[in-house]
Amino acid sequence: MNKNRRSQAGAIWVGPALKALLLCLFFGGAALGYAWQHRKLGELDAIQRSLEVQLDLLRRDNRILGEQLAELQQPTRLMQRAARLQPPMSVALPSQTIRLPEPRPSVSRLYSDALSANVQRGASRPYPAN
């Protein structure tokens, strides 16, 4: 015969209570984790928005500086600046000019140049064609 529940031992009631406690801890921990993650995503979103604004400002500044550089590099602008500064420049005298003779290429240099030219053209012979 079935016994009355009131007469059962207290150890039998601990199992369902422990199970309910573990489930509450699990779902409570999951809820706390979700809330923490949601807050962290909000913070990261704010950081990302501020960095995007900063990037847009830097791109705008870069574009403005590029336009200024292009304007300053125009030949007419350079001539105006040179005329304004009036540097003490004049044409070099022939006595101030030094002329260096061009070195004559050696035979081995000619051969290596011709060899590399043939290799680049896909020639099968390792020496220049006559």
The residue written with tokens 């680049």 in the block is: 120
First CA to last CA distance, the chain: 119
Position 43 pLDDT exceeds 60: yes
Position 124 pLDDT exceeds 60: no
Helices (H), the chain: 11-72, 75-85, 107-121
pTM over 0.75: no
Q: Convert the pLDDT of each residue in 94-104 to its tens digit.
A: 998 999 888 88
The residue written with tokens 């035979």 in the block is: 107
Q: Angle at CA 73, nearest 5°, toward 69 and 75?
A: 155
Q: Binning pLDDT at 50, 70 and 90, where does residue 31 land?
A: very high
Query: Phi and psi at residue 72, in whole multiples of 5°?
Result: -70, -20
